[in-house]
Every structure is written in structure tokens, then in C-alpha cells.
Amino acid sequence: MVTAGGAPTVETIAERAGVSIASVSRVLNGHGARPETVRRVERAAAEVGYVPNAVARSLKGGRTRQLTFAMQDIGNPVYVAMVRQIQSIAKAEGYRLLLHSTDAVAEDELAVVRSLADRTSDGLILCPIRITPEHIEALRTAARPVVVIGSLPEEERVPVDSVRADSVAGAGLAVRHLAETGRRRIAFVNGPADTVPGRNRHLGYHRALAACGLRADPELVVTTEFTIEAGASAMHRLLDRLTAGGAGTSAGGPGVSAHEPGDPGGPGLDAVFCANDQLALGASQALHSRGLRIPGDVAVVGMDDTVLVRAGWPPLTSVDLGSAERGRIAAEMLLERISGPRAGSGQKAGSGPGSGSVRDPGPPARTRTVTPRLVVRASSAPARPGPDPHAAPAGHDRGEAAS
């Protein structure tokens, strides 16, 4: 029953109800009107199935009620966890969510930040792979509020909010847990060393090793990509290297003490900490395919606590770096920037020459850090108990939080 030729507009309703378009607008936005007017407008609107044109509304109001979330690849479970939270909060606040995969192309990330100027979105949550000087500049001049999930160089004082994980502490949690459950030769399968997570997790691993009085053996560390396949081959490489008695790969290192743990002729390591769950899953598979038992022979710990931990066998102990929580916090911070208390009145800003700048910066940028949490499951149970942990009864893997 829609008026032929185009969707109904305020004018359609005004004519039908015999009032002005201004009254229609007022009634529809609950700005008060005579009961009789309200009745007639509402009736007319219902009859024609009127739906306000959101675009026109945005043009007038300057807000689109859209948020953008940009990350490398939605295929990564960590981002999926974030999207879920962000979408849920956005929805609850009446915002739509625009998704943007950058495929890890820095140029694309920049484009997303710059495109905020096109007024399509009221704010952006960005997960950058690497922060370049161009990023800093783009963030500085962003046309809309931005929240970065990741680490921003502190000395740059980039004026955007951010939420970060504590990879260093997280890696420490994993290593300490392994050491406390009796593991002595803890290997480390890391992601690319030139990424922030890669660097931090490596640092955390080393620090915790030292804190636990364990020797850091370079033979036990291997670096690769953040994928299941890479994890598997990295683990194979590690095992080859260790059982070969320090033959090829390591140049000047002393012979590998391949027989230290458990039975002689063992794998030369009794635990492996992996920089994310994909790597841990790959490592598990490599161990399985060589007939090594988890956690009997080798304990495995992953990181990020994604949905994947319950997919592997045995269920994977993992360090939850708070993906979901970071997503939630980022969304909250962003919404606060968008509609929260305008202008930081509590401070006499240094008011340099460029006072009338592009956008009211509001309160100073905040950085929040999410505390990691170790979730213990079967893959890191102490080696002692039952002869075949593979036959452990189900229900054994209920996650348990630790400091």
C-alpha cells in the first residue's frame, strides 16, 4: 500500500495527516505536539509504512551511527572474538558495525584512518600490524575518534585511546606454570620476531625463565609464522635439531643435552610454549605424529585462548590475553569519545598557536592494559599421574583461572 513511485517521506505523511512536515518530524522524534496531531501523524506513518531515511538524517545531524572495525583478517579467531564484543555493544547502543579487512597491508590501514574524513562512520577501532610514522600522522589528524587495539609508541604521544594486551606478563604466566609443574626444558615456538607480539612474548619467555632459575637455551627457541602448519613444521625442526645431537643448525652451541628429562633418548625437551594457539595446535600435531605423548612426554601451552583450544586433543592450556575484553573496552572507549563528556574542561590546555584545530580532542588519550589470565587444561597436566593421559576422563578440561 505504499505510494507508488518512491518510498514515503515526511512529506507523504504530512499531506496524508494534513499537517506540516515540521510537525511530522516533531511527532516522530517525540518532541511533543497536540495529542490530536500526534495521533494523526502516527496513523498516517503506520499506514504508509514509513521508515525514516537514515542518510538524510545523518547529513543533517553529522552522525551516521556507524562504527568501523578494521583488522588484518577476520579469519583469525582473535579478531572474531573482538568483533563479537564490538558488534554486541554497538548494537546495544544503536550503532551499526562496518567491517574492514586490511589483509595486513599497511597502506590499507592508512586508507581506513584517512577515510574517516568521508563521514561514513562515527569512529574507528583499529588493530594495526605495525605502527609507522605515517600511522602516527594519520592518527593525529583523524577526522573522527579512533581507538587502537595494540601498542602505541609512548614517546610519540599519539592523541588516541588504546587498549593493549600484556604479552610479556602472559608469556611469563605460561612459563612459570610449566616450571611449577616440573618442566625443565621449556621450548618456545614464536611468531615473527619483527612484530610487537613476537618481541614481547620472547621477552616474557626469557624473563620468566630467568626468574625460575632455568637456563635459556637458544636451541630451544624457534621462530616462524603464526599458523597451524608453521607450528607443526617448527616443532619438527625443533625435535630434529634436539635429537640430532646438535649437528647442523646451531653453529657454535655446545652439544644438546637430549637425555635430561624422562627416559634416555627422549626428545630433549619436556614442554613447549607457543606464541599463539595456532602454533600450539601445530606443535601438538607434530608431537603426535612422532609418537610423543601430551602431556606425558611434552606439555604444550598456547596463547590467546581462542575457540581452537577445545578443538585440539588434549584440550590446550592457553594464556588468555583478553581478546574479547579488549574488544569490549575498545568499543566502550570509542562510544565514550563519540557521545561522552565533550571537551576536557578540567585542564588549562597549553593552547599553542593551533588552538582552533580540526577536532575537539576532548579528554586526554587513555591507554588501558588488560591483565592476562592462564587457563589450565589437560595439555599441561604434570607428567607424573596416569600412564596414559590420552585416556583421561572427559570433563577434565574445565578451564581454571590462575593469577
Q: Which residues bind DNA (CB under 7 A)?
A: 6-7, 9-11, 18-26, 28-29, 31-34, 36-37, 52-53, 56-57, 59-62
Please tell me whether residue 328 binds a copy of itself under the rule CB under 8 A: no
End-to-end CA distance of the chain: 63
Residue type, 51: V
Q: Count of CB atoms within 10 A of residue 354's CB?
A: 7
Contact of residue 37 among DNA, a copy of itself, none (CB under 5-8 Å per partner type): DNA
Residue type, 384: R
Residue from 25, 58, 181, 367 that binds a copy of itself (CB under 8 A)? Answer: 58
**What is the layout of strands, in order, in the sheet containing 186-190?**
221-223, 186-190, 271-274, 299-303, 317-320, 373-375, 401-402
CB of 145 to a copy of itself, least distance (A): 15
**What character string, x for contact with a copy of itself (CB under 8 A) and - otherwise, covers 92-131?**
----xxxxxx------------xx-xxxx-----------
Nearest to 143 by CA among 112, 103, 164, 108: 112
The interface region with a copy of itself, picked from 25-33, 37-45, 68-76, 366-374 by CB under 8 A, is: 68-76
d(CA 54, CA 243): 66
- Closest to DNA by CB, 58 vs 369, is 58
Nearest to 371 by CA among 327, 303, 321: 321
Residue from 248, 346, 348, 394 that binds a copy of itself (CB under 8 A)? Answer: 394
Please tell me whether residue 64 binds a copy of itself under the rule CB under 8 A: yes
CB of 31 to DNA, least distance (A): 7
Please tell me whether residue 251 binds a copy of itself under the rule CB under 8 A: no
Print burial letters for 117-155: b (CB count within 10 Å at least 16), e (below 16). eeeebbbbbbbbbebeeebbebbeebbbbbbbbbbbeee
Task: Cite the DSSP H helix spans in 162-309.
Answer: 167-180, 196-211, 228-243, 277-289
Residues 74-93 that bind a copy of itself (CB under 8 A): 74-75, 80-81, 83-84, 87-88, 91
Please tell me whether residue 252 binds a copy of itself under the rule CB under 8 A: no
Please tell me whether residue 167 binds a copy of itself under the rule CB under 8 A: no
The interface region with a copy of itself, picked from 73-81, 161-169, 248-256, 365-373 by CB under 8 A, is: 73-81
Please tell me whether residue 53 binds a copy of itself under the rule CB under 8 A: yes
C-beta of residue 238 within 8 angstroms of C-beta of residue 220: yes
Residue from 49, 182, 340, 385 that binds a copy of itself (CB under 8 A)? Answer: 49
Burial of 109 per CB tally in 10 Å (0-12, 13-18, 19+)? buried
Residue type, 128: P
Pairing of strands 401-402, 373-375: antiparallel
Please tell me whether residue 51 binds a copy of itself under the rule CB under 8 A: yes
CB of 142 to a copy of itself, least distance (A): 12
- Closest to DNA by CB, 44 vs 271, is 44
d(CA 10, CA 120): 24
d(CA 147, CA 183): 40
Contact residues for a copy of itself (CB under 8 A)?
2, 4-5, 7, 49, 51-56, 58-59, 64, 66, 73-75, 80-81, 83-84, 87-88, 91, 96-101, 114-115, 117-120, 143, 228-229, 232, 236, 281, 284-286, 288-291, 307-308, 310-315, 356-358, 388, 390-394
